[in-house]
Amino acid sequence: MARAIAIADVASWYCAFVLVALILMSSLRDNPLAQEPVRGKFSRRTCDEIYVVGEGETLHTISDKCGDPYIVEQNPHIQDPDDVFPGLVIKITPSMPRNV
């Protein structure tokens, strides 16, 4: 019985060590978005189906940039179109050519 407890104790320490190592490695990983040069007020990110709102962006600027005039209708979690904040995740479905 004591041997099983000792093995379980060693295994739990090993798992904790691996977990801490993975967390540290993921926090030290390079951020590819941070290396992109910013042109003008807004970065020229691609408009993927899932879009994360950046600093200073509005639904109007995102709609113009991505060619999706129906952002509010496709995102029921947006209660107030004027209350858009950085980090908000929205769905984009381009229906017209993008303005580049």
Positive or negative CA dihedral for 56, 61, 65, 69?
positive
* Residue range 17-46, pLDDT digits in tens: 888 888 887 777 665 554 444 444 444 556
Q: Which amino acid is at 37?
A: P
User: What confidence tier does 90 reach under pLDDT thresholds 50, 70, 90?
Assistant: very high
Write down the pTM of the prediction.
0.50
pLDDT at 15: 87
pLDDT at 7: 92
Is 96 a residue whose pLDDT tops 70? no
Q: Which amino acid is at 40?
A: G
User: What confidence tier does 48 reach under pLDDT thresholds 50, 70, 90?
Assistant: confident
Average pLDDT, the chain: 79
Neighbours of 47 (CB within 10 A): 17
Q: Can you tell me the mean pLDDT for 90-100? A: 69
